Structure 1
């Protein structure tokens, strides 16, 4: 009986000890496993508890700290941070592409062209010839300077070194003169008082002009003269008109006129060697100037409301476009030598004459030089001039 009781007590005590050991083992596994378990056990069981914690920090830290560390320089340098750029790759690709296109189109019409070279123009302050002067200015209206008196209808040579003009010097003959671009060294090359409307060929070898048979009436028989120092070679073109101008390749001449007994006045084309003319407009336009690029002609004509405006048209007469509008009289247009801009003269609604410039498409119209009155009789036939 006592032996049985002792065995029972021993068994109970042993069970309690085992239970206690089990309880202690469960409670100390997290703290005792790393120092007591061998390498085999460490790789088998604690892999999840030991490997997982080191794995998380490398994933979390780049995600959090990299954008923060690179976003600060981005804010100061104007360069988007990687985080913002990652978003922009998808969303702003669709948004920024249209914006870029719109901005480019807007800036092309909003950004003023920057023409090169120089412009020549007349300034008339009285009726007498001595009050008819020719001036030069930069393409931005700067560096204005008088170079000639008793002169009008200036035409700068393409390279800008010479100038043709209608001169009427005191004690001299009225006619077509050639001078250096500073006004020095004038030479009479066409001794005709009715000479007018001069224009240079692109190679600077010829000047085309008109001879009027009637006083104070510009226009007449068109001819060209070779600028070779002898000034003896004159080629009649066999047509009648005014405001002749060479094409950009020198092979044709555009002028204002009409086919005799046929239709209205307008822009005409004829070979630079003469021949049968061809009419491309019938709007009584004049003062035509071929673009340096050879694809368009700028000129002035009435707008149907009693005002003269500036137009461009393709060289075949198609695609006519009005560039100026309003109640001003706008005329005497001329291309800049690089073809990016058009200069013209305006009476500014009758307030004062000024020279303006605009982009070749008609945008960015802005005033360059104020108070530059033309000859009131001939302003509709005379032209500005531009060179390199």
Structure 2
């Protein structure tokens, strides 16, 4: 068992950052529609925000000047958000993680942790975060959001040959016993061999680390199916990027997309029978387009064109998919061949800037 470390280092402060009544209203509005959390550019800042599909209302959760706020993950119950915030001060750059409630009367907890990607455990208590300091540095950390304790599952200081450097989005097994992540071995660049990321699973106890993929290319961002039996991941092969699927133990690897284009950002349907993703340069579409695949038959269906490279999100009933258009609007399209997209935002949600990681509030 890896000992928990750093109560003093990790628990920076408990902040009384109460959400305004407008933000609370949006949190409750998930019962009438879907609520998306995302980040958008506002002047010199990147701010965390909510968008309610039922009312087309938008509200900034946080509005910090000279800061980058990247929405990373919803808790399984949809009552909390993990937000990485970097504040640029004249004398320093502060990086920390916020665990923000979306219900009335809650307060945020602030941790000196940071993170590029994160995912809550199935019970909502633990948060796995990947911190990428540079191309040669990174770590996988699991934070107990109730106590502030954390443990480092991957990454060592100083790095040694063979140390695993994680990158990309982590995820959890359905029982919360394992964390999945893409990682590479430190020392490859010194050995003059191709640097390749593979998918690993790391036991929460730290007793075991297992490599699940073992073939050429970069394989990363594992995403287990709702029932935990299968897994989607992305695989980069020279000038192509594919969406792949395998069993949760690493067997049965197969491609779900064409091998000559760029397909990425997959998302499982709630029932695990389908997945959506964004492709460019394949299936007769020159620009970026939204597609759906039936994972058993691998039948591909076109859903929408002119999409922004932002992760799409399923509605909770699995009937529709929400995505961002190139023109700055949110759209919703039925997950069926021949459906027409419907605009759901009352105006440009993100103007000329980028948005990141739309997610459904209450799974």
TM-score range, shorter chain: 0.5 to 0.7
- 2:24 maps to none
Query: Partner of 1:254: helix, strand, or coil?
Result: strand
TM-score after normalising by structure 2: 0.57
Structure 1 or 2, whichever has the larger Rg, is 1
Q: Mark the CA change 1:191 to 1:351 in structure 2 (over 3 Å): closer, same or farther.
A: farther
- 1:236 maps to 152
Aligned residues: 258
Q: Mark the CA change 1:199 to 1:211 in structure 2 (over 3 Å): closer, same or farther.
A: same
| 1:280 paired residue among 199, 209, 212 | 212
Counterpart check, 1:258 vs 2:176: no
Q: Distance in 2 between matches of 1:236 and 1:277?
A: 13
Q: If each structure's strand is expressed as a fraction of its own residues, which one has the higher value?
A: 2
Q: Distance in 2 between matches of 1:212 and 1:184?
A: 33
TM-score after normalising by structure 1: 0.54
- 2:224 maps to 290
Q: If each structure's helix is expressed as a fraction of its own residues, which one has the higher value?
A: 1
The CA deviation string for residues 314-369 of structure 1, in whole angstroms up to 9 with x for no partner, is 12222122223376532222334443443434457797656655444454452342
The CA deviation string for residues 174-212 of structure 1, in whole angstroms up to 9 with x for no partner, is 32222234899673533245x221001001110000223
Q: Mark the CA change 1:137 to 1:344 in structure 2 (over 3 Å): closer, same or farther.
A: farther
- Does the 8 Å contact 2:241/2:259 carry over to 1? no
Unaligned runs of 5+ in 1: 1-116
Counterpart check, 1:167 vs 2:85: yes
Q: CA deviation at 1:371?
A: 2.3
- 2:99 maps to 178
- Does the 8 Å contact 2:76/2:122 carry over to 1? yes
Unaligned runs of 5+ in 2: 1-32, 63-67, 156-164, 189-194, 305-321, 329-349
- Does the 8 Å contact 1:328/1:346 carry over to 2? yes
- 2:133 maps to 213
- Does the 8 Å contact 1:310/1:331 carry over to 2? yes
The CA deviation string for residues 127-180 of structure 1, in whole angstroms up to 9 with x for no partner, is 9433x6555577xx9968565564324211111121112223577943222223
Q: Distance in 2 between matches of 1:235 and 1:219?
A: 17
The CA deviation string for residues 2-39 of structure 1, in whole angstroms up to 9 with x for no partner, is xxxxxxxxxxxxxxxxxxxxxxxxxxxxxxxxxxxxxx
- Does the 8 Å contact 1:353/1:371 carry over to 2? no
RMSD: 4.1
Q: CA deviation at 1:120?
A: 4.7
The CA deviation string for residues 26-73 of structure 1, in whole angstroms up to 9 with x for no partner, is xxxxxxxxxxxxxxxxxxxxxxxxxxxxxxxxxxxxxxxxxxxxxxxx
